[in-house]
Amino acid sequence: MPHRSFRDEVRDAVTPRATLLIVGVIALQLLFIASYVGALHDPKPKDVPFAVVAPGAASQQAVTRLDRLPGSPLDPRALPDESTARSQITNRDIDGALIINPTGTDTLLVASGGGRVLSTTLVTTLEKSEKRTFRTVDVIPSATHDPNGLSSFYLVVGWCVGGYLGAAALAISAGAKPSNPRRAAIRLAVMALVAILGGLGGALITGPVLGALPGSTAALWGLGTLIIFAVGAATLALQGIFGTIGIGLVILLVVVLGNPSAGGALPPPLLPPFWKAIGPVLPPGAGTWSTRSIAYFENNAMTTPLLVLAAWAVVGAAITVAASATRRKAP
């Protein structure tokens, strides 16, 4: 056997394709660090939807004062009474409200079910701005076994993982690109089955088994099914176009960009502008918002995030089938 130089051994061991994949891994690693640290390292409230209830001219005066706070932490508006404020919190139109009592103690309404960090931030912000004693009332408290309101986020993360790992498993076992539309449809059907089972399992674990999330188990099951299938279909679509690299692209979208912008660790009003903007249009963000709506907010304000998830599912499925048809026609 002829002697081989070390350089020849390296060339055989690390092919150009492997080199490109390693470069991609390093890039994803650095983007992961930049995205998570960039989104979560310095939380500051910005334009938090907030209401003020006060008699007469005091209402508008308070709104003006809060609107002029340095850094614009609040987006205040006047409401006629406490009942309306509570209703808007439940509907997820606002995140808190200050009930001003000129002759007594002011009341701050918060909803820790939407994220305890945000509720705590509102308390701190109002303490600094008002310089008055007030009592805090948690209108929609997080569950006993979900004190920080993070169970909804971790549930969605698990569902998203099931989506892209399920699609990746199909690629590993039978090739990243399905050879014809029929096989593409079969893969989508398998993803639908994975989504149904995974959605049910997640809903049961966080609901009846662990008691971490209140709300309808059936509704969570349906949401979980949609999230898993949406992420799985998107993964199949990107694999159909780019091959194995498509898995890395999904990780970029869902894990690197989607998780820190989802509003889990930090609710949207505390995120920097870039992450606050992209969060609602990515599956983790749409899923986390919807999960909290089911668990704590009487299924309110779910139309837009459900449409976002449905769009990922429909477009992903359509591209998966179309890519396979194009592949079949190619010489």
Q: What is the pLDDT of residue 330?
A: 46
**Listed range (10-14, 32-36, 125-129, 278-282) with the worst mean pLDDT:** 10-14
Q: Are strands 96-99 and 48-53 parallel, antiparallel or unpaired?
A: parallel
Q: Which residues contact 185 (CB under 8 A, 6 or more apart)?
A: 321
Q: Which residues contact 273 (CB under 8 A, 6 or more apart)?
A: 46
Is 153 within 8 Å of 117 (Cβ atoms)? no
Beginning with the edge strand found earlier in the chain, give each strand of the sheet holding 48-53 in spatial order: 74-78, 48-53, 96-99, 106-110, 134-138
CA distance 207 to 219: 11
Q: What is the pLDDT of residue 133?
A: 74
The domain locations on the chain are 61-138, 151-329
CA distance 47 to 77: 11
Closest CA to 206 of 309, 288, 119, 95: 288
Q: Where does the pLDDT of residue 275 fall: very low under 50, low under 70, confident under 90, or very high at 90 and above?
A: very high
Segment (H or E) for 137: strand 134-138
Q: Which residues contact 131 (CB under 8 A, 6 or more apart)?
A: none
What is the overall mean pLDDT for the chain? 90
pTM of the model: 0.91
Residues 215-229: pLDDT tens digits?
999 999 999 999 999
**Positive or negative: CA dihedral 32, 35, 37, 39:** negative
Q: According to the per-residue pLDDT averaged within each range, which of 9-13, 24-28, 148-152, 200-204 is highest?
A: 200-204
Closest CA to 116 of 86, 102, 99, 96: 96
DSSP code per residue over 34-101:
HHHHHHHSS----SEEEEEE-STHHHHHHHHHHHTSTT--EEEEE-S-HHHHHHHHHTTS-SEEEE--
Is 286 within 8 Å of 311 (Cβ atoms)? no
Is 213 within 8 Å of 146 (Cβ atoms)? yes
Q: Indicate if the pLDDT at residue 5 is higher than 60.
A: yes
CA distance 166 to 149: 27
Q: Where does the pLDDT of residue 6 fall: very low under 50, low under 70, confident under 90, or very high at 90 and above?
A: low
CA distance 41 to 54: 36
